[in-house]
Amino acid sequence: MLQTAKESTSETHGKFIWCELMTSDTEAAGRFYSAVLGWSVKPMPMEGMTYHLFEIGEGDKCPGIGGMMTLPAELAGHVPPNWSGYVAVDDVDRTARAFEAGGGMIHRQPEDIPGVGRFAVVADPHGAVINIMTPLPVDDMPTAPEGAPGTVGWYELYANDLQEAFDFYAGTFGWTRDHDHDMGPMGVYRIFAEHGKAIGGMMARPESVPVPCWVYYFNVDGLDAAIARVTAAGGKIVHGPMEVPGGSWIAHCTDPQGASFSLVSMRR
């Protein structure tokens, strides 16, 4: 399996391919994100659980942008509801060992998901958690247009030390520095690229952020209207709206179960 998966992902090593929500109430969270981002929620019964797909549009062949599952019982109480990303890698086992050798941690050892691929849950040397996966080849998987409302538009890392974090991910995923933006007292914001395309940013963790973590931004068509949908559906706006370099507008939010997420739009 690993050989076949590796051949299918060798040109996408380091590419974000999925986002996943672990939450205390999948039914309520599904309603919330459907109202805010327009997603459809499709339950997929699996052995011992139900996994929920987040899709854009309706019907049998809709682009999937992420998934949702109930927060496992062993994590409830000390891990809050949260979003996490999946990065494609050529070899999950080798990459997991690289995380550990580089000072990070393997939270869940590599294992197979039948019909999907092989994955592991890891953390970088500062403790920010991320998932890695070698997906199996999938024929005819629909994809949403880049930048479409409801898709992931940006990936952001709050690190204990910017240069240390960047060097680690550059060595592990092959990411490169696109450019730096001087934020004054807040330090440098580093735009990083995957195979030459800028996909996210890294910065030193602000005091308001308790632990190093990844943040996921979802595209919306008009930030003010999306903010109104967040509050109407029971979520909270933590920060924003705020204009950022490049002309985008962003807001940081929490859903009713407490999971953090962010919004981004090219218009207010």
* Average pLDDT of the chain, as a whole number: 90
Q: What is the pLDDT of residue 17?
A: 94
Tokens of 212: 């190093």
pLDDT at 160: 96
Q: Say yes or no: 206 and 107 in one domain.
A: no
Say yes or no to pLDDT of 9 above 60.
no
* 146 inside domain: no
The enclosing H or E element of 72 equals none
Together in a domain, 177 and 251 = yes
Q: What is the pLDDT of residue 20?
A: 96
How far is it, in rounded angstroms, from Cα 153 to Cα 71? 25
pLDDT of residue 185: 87
> Is residue 130 domain-shared with residue 203, that is, in the same domain?
no
Q: Measured between alpha carbons, how far is 199 from 154 in angstroms, rounded to an integer?
A: 6
- HSE-up (13 A, CA, CB side) for residue 256: 17
pLDDT one-digit tens code per residue, 222-263: 999 999 999 999 999 999 899 998 889 999 999 999 999 999
At 221, the pLDDT band (50, 70, 90 cuts) reads very high
Residue 256 lies in a domain: yes
- pLDDT tens for residues 97-120? 999 999 999 999 999 988 889 999
Domain boundary among 78, 104, 135: 135
Decide which of 170 and 208 is more confident: 170
Say if CB 237 and CB 227 are below 8 A apart. Answer: yes
Q: Are residues 23 and 121 in the same domain?
A: yes
pTM of the predicted model as reported, rounded to 2 decimal places: 0.91
Residues 202 and 79 in one domain: no
Q: What is the pLDDT of residues 33-48, one digit of tens each?
A: 999 999 999 998 877 7
Residue 8 pLDDT grade (very low, low, confident, very high; cuts 50, 70, 90): very low
Q: Which backbone phi and psi does 115 adopt, to 5 degrees?
A: 80, -5
Query: Of all residues in the chain, what percent carry a pLDDT higher than 70?
Result: 94
CATH number at residue 172: 3.10.180.10
Q: Are residues 128 and 217 in the same domain?
A: no
Q: Does residue 169 sit within a domain? A: yes
Residue 117: both structure tokens together? 């691929």
Residue 147, domain member (yes or no): no
Average pLDDT over residues 44-64: 82
Q: Is residue 238 in some structural domain?
A: yes
Q: Are residues 127 and 156 in the same domain?
A: no
The pLDDT of residue 4: 30
**What pLDDT does 140 receive?**
67
- Type of residue at 188: V
> For the chain, how many structural domains are there in total?
2
Sheet holding 16-23, edge to edge: 39-46, 49-56, 64-70, 16-23, 82-88, 129-135, 117-123, 105-113
Do 27 and 188 touch, CB atoms closer than 8 A?
Answer: no
CA-to-CA distance for 143 and 151, rounded, in angstroms?
Answer: 10
pLDDT at residue 10 in the model = 63
**What letter represents residue 70's amino acid?**
T
Q: Cis omega (within 30 of 0) on the bond before 241?
A: yes
Q: Domain for residue 140, yes or no? A: no
Looking at residue 145, its pLDDT comes to 78
Per-residue confidence at 22, pLDDT binned at 50, 70, 90?
A: very high
The answer to whether residue 142 sits within a structural domain is: no
Last residue of a domain, one of 85, 109, 135: 135
Q: What is the mean pLDDT of residues 203-211?
A: 92
Model confidence over 161-179: pLDDT tens digits?
A: 999 999 999 999 999 999 9
Range of the domain at 72: 2-135
Asked, for residue 179, whether it belongs to a domain, the answer is yes
Confidence tier at 7 by pLDDT (50, 70, 90):
very low
CB hemisphere CA count around 92 (13 angstroms): 28
Q: Does residue 40 sit in the same domain as residue 164? A: no
In this predicted structure, the answer to whether residue 5 has a pLDDT above a threshold of 50 is no
Per DSSP bridges, beta strands 152-159 and 197-204 are parallel
Please say which residue of 68, 101, 135 terminates a domain: 135
